[in-house]
């Protein structure tokens, strides 16, 4: 089900700037027992993204109202919130005033096999590279051709593809952030010139008792890791069991972070 500006629909204005220029931002949120998980963090990131892109942020009350409406009677699902700069303007020039398009959609929770979380996934390195753009780095904006192209490189043989930037640094998965454990220290890639600052990444960095270091990761660093895992708001944590020809255990720190995350989700849902 989709709400656009509060109304149920299946269509959007053909002049919407989201369609023409990818001129928007989005959030993907897990729903458990009618409650959106880490909603505060998702809305904060969306607002921060709107500030950078100079898109008027709608009232949180409106957004939360739409989300609540779609979450009713949903035990487990996914909500996508997307904001675009709306219709109008002349070419790239933005309309004045901006009438933001508020798109909220409910999706079923994907039917991932339980084994992905319990036994880990198989991953690969993509040949599609991430470009460098410090201005847009971190944001979950709608300019996603790099991820779409990377995802065309395989079908069902792998569960995720890791992406390097054009300098060769390993940044993230196509739909996840990457974490590397080496000698009892957890690392994740710095998101400075490219990549998305995922909410799960942020939660792990800021809310767990473990100190996680943001760093530059080479392909060699990743391959030589003791443990590897990827995160996003829908899957939580998936350990990587296999990457190229190498296999990895689901190590102690990965397991510890999975427990932390589970507790944090429970705490977050109690706040609602």
Q: Which residues carry out catalysis?
A: 28, 140, 172
Q: How far is the CB of 148 from a second copy (least distance, A)?
A: 5
Q: What are phi and psi of 93, to 5 degrees?
A: -60, 135
Q: What are phi and psi of 87, to 5 degrees?
A: -100, 160
Size of the residue set binding a second copy (CB under 8 A): 56
Closest to 272 (Cα-Cα) out of 71, 1, 100: 71
Site string for a second copy, 157-196 (x = CB under 8 A): ---------x-------xx------------------x--
Pairing of strands 246-247, 212-215: unpaired
Residue (103 or 248) nearer to a second copy, CB:
103
Q: How far is the CB of 72 from a second copy (least distance, A)?
A: 20
Among 64, 148, 259, 272, binds a second copy (CB under 8 A): 148
Q: Does 197 bind a second copy (CB under 8 A)?
A: no
Among 12, 44, 100, 264, binds a second copy (CB under 8 A): 12
Pairing of strands 101-108, 76-84: antiparallel
What is the SS3 assignment for 14-75? CCEHHHHHCCEEEEEEEEECCEECCHHHHHHHHHHHHHHHCCCCCCHHHHHHHHHHHHCCCC
Among 44, 149, 192, 269, binds a second copy (CB under 8 A): 149
Q: Does 108 bind a second copy (CB under 8 A)?
A: no
The CA distances from residue 225 to 123, 125, 185, 232, 261, in Å, are: 14, 15, 10, 20, 21
Among 33, 99, 152, 247, binds a second copy (CB under 8 A): 152
Q: Does 4 bind a second copy (CB under 8 A)?
A: yes
CB neighbour burial string for 61-92, b if at least 16 within 10 angstroms, e if fewer: eebeebbeebbeebeebbbebbbbbbbbbeee
Q: Structure tokens of 260?
A: 């932390």
- The SS3 call for residue 90 is strand
Among 42, 79, 106, 147, binds a second copy (CB under 8 A): 147
Name residues whose C-beta falls within 8 Å of residue 155's C-beta, 6 or more positions apart in sequence: none
Q: Does 91 bind a second copy (CB under 8 A)?
A: yes
Q: Does 131 bind a second copy (CB under 8 A)?
A: yes
Which of these segments, 11-19, 212-220, 222-230, 260-268, binds a second copy (CB under 8 A)? Answer: 11-19
Q: Does 99 bind a second copy (CB under 8 A)?
A: no
Q: Does 135 bind a second copy (CB under 8 A)?
A: yes
Among 31, 39, 43, 53, binds a second copy (CB under 8 A): 53
List the interface residues with a second copy, window 207-266 (CB under 8 A).
none
Binding stretches for a second copy (CB under 8 A) = 2, 4, 9-23, 26, 53-54, 82, 84-85, 90-94, 103, 105, 110, 128-136, 141-152, 166, 174-175, 194
């Amino acid at each position: 089900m989709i709400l656009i500006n509060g109304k149920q629909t299946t269509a959007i204005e053909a002049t919407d700037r989201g369609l023409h220029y990818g001129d928007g931002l989005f959030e993907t949120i897990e729903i458990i027992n009618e409650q959106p998980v880490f909603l505060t963090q998702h809305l904060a990131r969306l607002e921060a993204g709107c500030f950078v892109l100079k898109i008027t942020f709608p009232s949180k009350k409106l957004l939360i109202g739409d989300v609540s409406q779609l979450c009713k009677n949903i035990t487990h699902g996914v909500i996508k919130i997307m904001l675009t700069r709306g219709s109008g303007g002349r070419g790239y020039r933005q309309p004045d005033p901006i009438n933001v398009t508020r798109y909220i959609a409910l999706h079923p929770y994907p039917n991932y096999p339980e084994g992905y979380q319990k036994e880990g996934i198989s991953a690969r390195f993509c040949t599609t590279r991430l470009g460098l753009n410090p201005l847009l780095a971190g944001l979950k904006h709608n300019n996603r051709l790099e991820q779409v192209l990377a995802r065309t490189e395989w079908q069902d043989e792998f569960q995720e593809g890791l992406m390097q930037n054009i300098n060769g640094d390993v940044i993230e998965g196509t739909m996840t952030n990457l974490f590397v454990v080496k000698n009892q220290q957890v690392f994740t890639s710095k998101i400075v010139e490219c990549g998305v600052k995922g909410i799960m990444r942020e939660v792990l960095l800021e809310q767990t008792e473990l100190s996680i270091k943001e760093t530059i990761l080479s392909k060699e660093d990743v391959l030589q890791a003791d443990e590897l895992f990827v995160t996003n708001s829908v899957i939580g944590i998936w350990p990587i069991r296999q990457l190229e020809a190498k296999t990895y255990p689901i190590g102690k720190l990965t397991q510890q972070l999975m427990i932390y995350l589970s507790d944090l989700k429970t705490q977050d849902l109690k706040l609602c």
